[in-house]
Amino acid sequence: MTIAEKTSARRAPIAAGRMGVCKALAVTLLLSAPFGVQAKAVEPETYSPVAPTIDQARANILIARQLQFTHFRDMGISDELSGDVFDAYLSYLDGQRIYLTQSDIQALDKARNRLGPALKTGQLQPGFDIYNLVQKRIIERLEFALDTLDAGIGELDFSSDETILVDRSEAEWAPDTQALDTLWTKRIKNAVLAQRLSGADDDAIAETLRRRYEGQLKRANQARSEDAFQAYMNAFTGMWDPHTSYFSPRTSENFNINMSLSLEGIGAVLQADNEYTKVVRLVPGGPAAKQGQLKPADRIVSVAQEGEKPVNVIGWRLDEVVDLIRGPRNSVVTLEVVPASAADETLTKSISINRDEVKLEEQSASKDIIELDRNGETYSVGVITIPTFYADFRAMQAGDPNYKSTTRDVRKLISELKQSGVDGLVMDLRNNGGGALHEANDLVGLFIDTGPTVQIRNSNNEVQILKDEDASVAYDGPLVVLTNRMSASASEIFAGAIQDYGRGLVVGSQTFGKGTVQAVRPLNHGQLKITQSKFYRVSGGSTQHKGVIPDIEIPSRIDKTRIGEDALDRALPWDQIDAVPHTRYFDFSGIIDELRSRHEDRFATSPEFRLLQQEIDFLKEQRQRKTVSLNLDKRTTRQDQIETTRLTIANARRELRGEEPFESLEELDDWQDQQAADLDSTDDELDFVIREGGDIMADMLELDKRMASILTPQQIAAQADTP
């Protein structure tokens, strides 16, 4: 029996199950077979087309009304929007264009201009018809993959000069099923090659891939009406902005658990990303953040409980992946992920994380002191690291006078640093994803007399201004604020205010650009998270989309094309409203060029900066690869080059620290695993970005001695009108 015959036999019950759906679902697939296979005796599952419910139709009508009349973006449901929903929905269901053919697209295209009017009135069937067809095509592809594995990995040819496109999101749709067969054979070969290069034998590879495809096939056959509805609604809500989304009743439950911070797990925020579950950010102080290997934009392939085999979760619903990762504290979960830096989805790594609660004290601000020698003079610079903007609301509401919060903790740390006689202060907000808005407002107040801190504009163009009403100032000395691409929301409000007031310099990389505010509104069926307002700086510019641009830039390993508001589809744009009166404490224009010049000189001569740039260039080159070879010899050569570069960079970093180099990549990987497993290990040496922040501070003190007393009443009066 050929692959085509076998796959046809396995599909027979599926074809029968299609009767009575829509004509577009009755597309026959003809598969060509390069080699023979034996039939299995396993009775296949069948797919039952899903249908919308009355509750879903009512929820759809409520969502459409909320979007049109309460969202920050004023937009109606037009014919053009209908086509955009159609494209977004297909992208959500088949983002890599590996399931549908051009003939499928042509058949579905009849619905392109009908979705908008239908979504206004709760007519969900067109969206469900599309979902049902895609599910059937997914099942057909997975069955083909399993049949290919049954024929034997040894039948696959790795001697030709074939290549495979890494990202197919903008590729042409396959013209027919034969082209899809060729594509999927390449995908399987790519997966086999990646595992062979990792040292696995063909039997282990076949078992791993079979488990993966069988898991996806089982999930596809078990698709529910709620899966189709949530996917369709999120394609719809995403037309307004990427942070507006529909939560099914089950997803709502998980969202509420996360918001109450009562979840025991790994401390990571996850979201659906086509077939994958993607890491959005890590919770500061959480198990994953402390373990150190999981990174934003990593995609989860499988989840394994302690002592059990991994469960492949590609194609799973987000809530089911969350359930699998969640578990009792002190238990271990192992995630297999495609790293954000990987050249393609076949390059994975396993990360074991000890589940635990995210403790407030482990998110707390902390301090350090660095000493810098300049021309015979020593400068002492305090460093305060703020992982998140937090507040113990329960203790606050209970009237506890010693409740913890970012502002209260930082005030205390500043007092301790002042007692130590520091000459300047560096505030480290890198990787701080935000948190309590009032804490950002209060924290700004520690560094200014009184005044506005942020403006909030709603969909009716009404502007609310948050202010610091407390005239006391906790710190009146020179200030540097460190940011990176993962600094978001409340972090951007603080950094933007410090920059607008001329209160300090922002150093690092452009921030995330999350300048919108969402509210969760209940529906008859699930919840709607909707964007209702937007943040603006006191100077009038929004933090949305553009974020905060640093005064002095430091390169980052983070890929800005994949992480950040401006990397998201249909993100609300940057705009500007009127500025509000605010004091300008210092004009840096007289020294900023010299500060940048000194920084660049250090950058050019610092081995740590050169090493960082080498690593950035290496990662960028990896990400820019459009194709990968399916030739074993070429792939092996390429893999050797990658491993040599990784080892060279790691050993160069060890040499800077006076440590013995690794003799092999295996030794490096073992060391990284040991470091990650030892959650109590600490690195006493402050990272070089913090030290560069200290050097910039020392430059400021050298260039302008007035900075040592920047906030005297006389200077405030003299510089109040400085532009």
Active site positions, annotated = 489, 500, 514
Q: What one-character-per-residue DSSP string does 366-402 give?
A: EEEEEEEEETTEEEEEEEEE-SSB-B-HHHHHTT-TT
- Separation CA 172–CA 248 (nearest Å): 33
Element (H, E) at 434: none
β-pair type (332-338, 349-354): antiparallel
Token digits of residue 170: 């903008």
Contact 166, 187 (CB under 8 A): no
Amino acid at 281: R
Token digits of residue 19: 């009767």
Q: Residue 720: helix, strand or coil by DSSP?
A: coil
The residue among 500, 501, 441, 497 whose CA lies nearest residue 468 is 441
β-pair type (366-374, 377-385): antiparallel
- Give residues with Cβ within 8 angstroms of 155, minimum separation 6: 34, 35
Overall residue count recorded for the chain in this entry? 723
- Separation CA 224–CA 49 (nearest Å): 9
Phi, then psi, of 529 in degrees rounded to 5: -95, 120
Element (H, E) at 440: helix 437-445
- Separation CA 225–CA 49 (nearest Å): 9
- CA 420, 421, 422, 428 dihedral sign is positive
Amino acid at 380: S
Residue 276, strand partner residues: 273
Q: Residue 350: helix, strand or coil by DSSP?
A: strand
- Give residues with Cβ within 8 angstroms of 182, minimum separation 6: none
- Separation CA 411–CA 641 (nearest Å): 50
Contact 646, 343 (CB under 8 A): no
- Separation CA 199–CA 189 (nearest Å): 15
- Give residues with Cβ within 8 angstroms of 157, minimum separation 6: none
3-state secondary structure 650-717: HHHHHHHCCCCCCCCHHHHHHHHHHHHHCCCCCCCCCCHHHHHHHHHHHHHHHHCHHHHHCCCHHHHH
Cβ atoms within 10 Å of 122's Cβ, excluding its own? 17
Q: Which long-range contacts (CB under 8 A, 24 or more apart) does 623-628 make?
A: 623/341, 623/343, 623/559, 623/561, 623/562, 625/166, 625/343, 625/344, 626/165, 626/166, 626/167, 627/163, 627/164, 627/165, 627/166, 628/163, 628/164, 628/166, 628/190, 628/343, 628/344
- Separation CA 312–CA 191 (nearest Å): 14
